[in-house]
Amino acid sequence: MLQRDYTTSQLDVLEAEAIHIMREVAAEFERPCLLFSGGKDSIVMLRIAEKAFWPAAIPFPLMHVDTGHNFDEVIEFRDRRAAELGARLIVASVQDSIDQGRVVEETGRRASRNRLQTTTLLDAIEEHEFDAVFGGARRDEEKARAKERVFSFRDDFGQWDPKNQRPELWNLYNARIRKGEHIRVFPLSNWTELDVWDYIRREGIEIPSIYFAHTRKVFERDGMLLPDSDVVQRGEDEPLFEAVVRYRTVGDMTCTGAVQSTAATVEEIIEEIAATRITERGATRADDRSSEAAMEDRKREGYF
């Protein structure tokens, strides 16, 4: 037998790191939860959770902040996946926040519930007394995120203070908080978009159908393709047309654009992403386009 050199592949290293982070949270916090939207990053995160505690069940509930404007395919997938795992799924509804007068719906053509989600999320964290909340965010997504910790401290208003972050060394994470504060935990911090897709391929993980090329009625706004839907307000100068598209990210219908693509398999998606020259958020998210510091501002307020 050849001498082993114990080289480890990048996916194995990233997976081992993410499992370590999940177990650390389960060991050190009283009431964690995992944000599960049915998007690819949270699907990968859920698979990691399944692996981290096997053969035991995942020792925390899943939570989705539902704007009410999500794609049907994704909601169906979310519910089915949670049921398969026997996991408890909490749905925090933006519609409820609106009905209770906690937030006011935006009006006009560009109205979106994206920003309203923050209030719903923070209210749900408070109601359920969650002290650690797993999110699928990655540092390669956006430059404010590039500076965020794996264990990201939030004060009792849920706010992130980028200038006052706890140093993170080796694989040691500081889980100390006071009552009312919480930690956002990002086990996929060091993954890139391509790593996520490579992992989905390697693991044979099922993902919602809208990630694959399909024919859809869309219209163009600011260079993005938005879907024909009751919840997206379309002007008369924004004609509908049919196109073969897929989604690179899955979010609220009002601010998530499709990309023209014929990629029908995970392999074809990986080829497409490896060749692409535009970031996933730049290509498909109106919410990040409002200003250069859009993500930073929302994160400070307590966004995902």
Partner 1 sequence: MDILRFATAGSVDDGKSTLIGRLLYDSKAIFEDQLEAVERTSRDRGTEYTDLSLLTDGLRAEREQGITIDVAYRYFATPRRKFIIADTPGHIQYTRNMVTGASTADLAIILIDARKGVLEQSRRHAFLTSLLRVPHLVLAVNKMDLVDYSQERFEEIREEFTAFASKLNVADLTFIPISALHGDNVVSRSENTPWYQGTSLLHHLENVHIASDRNLTDVRFPVQYVIRPQRATDHAFHDYRGYAGQVAGGVLKPGDEVVHLPSGLTTRIASIDTFDGPVEEAFPPMSVTLRFEDDIDISRGDMIARPNNQPHVAQELEAMVCWMTDGLKLTPRSKLTIKHTTRTARALVRDLHYRLDVNTLHRDEEATSLGLNEIGRVSLRVTQPLFVDDYGRNRLTGGFILIDEATNGTVAAGMIMDVR
Q: Establish if 177 lies at the interface with partner 1 (CB under 8 A).
A: yes
Smallest gap from residue 50 Cβ to partner 1 (A): 7
- Please name the residue ranges forming H helices in the chain: 10-28, 40-53, 72-85, 94-99, 117-127, 193-203, 266-275, 280-284, 294-301
Structure tokens at 213: 């090329």
Phi, psi of 214 (to 5 degrees): -155, 165
Nearer to partner 1, 42 or 120 (CB): 42
- Total residues at interface with partner 1 (CB under 8 A): 63
Do strands 32-35 and 132-134 pair parallel, antiparallel, or not at all (unpaired)? parallel
Smallest separation (angstroms) from partner 1 to the CB of 259: 13
Q: Contacts with partner 1 in 10-49 (CB under 8 A)? A: 10, 12-17, 19-20, 23-24, 26-27
Cβ closest to partner 1, residue 9 vs residue 265: 9
Q: Give the closest residue to 153 by CA, choosing from 129, 133, 171.
A: 133
Which are the contacts of 71, defined by CB distance < 8 A and separation ≥ 6? 208, 210, 227, 247, 250, 253
CB of 166 to partner 1, least distance (A): 4
Which of the residues 232 through 261 are near partner 1 (CB under 8 A)? none
Residue 271 structure tokens:
């080829």
> 3 is written with which tokens?
């001498």
- Give me the 114-153 binding string for partner 1, x by CB under 8 A, dash otherwise: -------------------------xx--xxxxx------
CB of 79 to partner 1, least distance (A): 20
Residue 1, interface with partner 1 (CB under 8 A)?
no
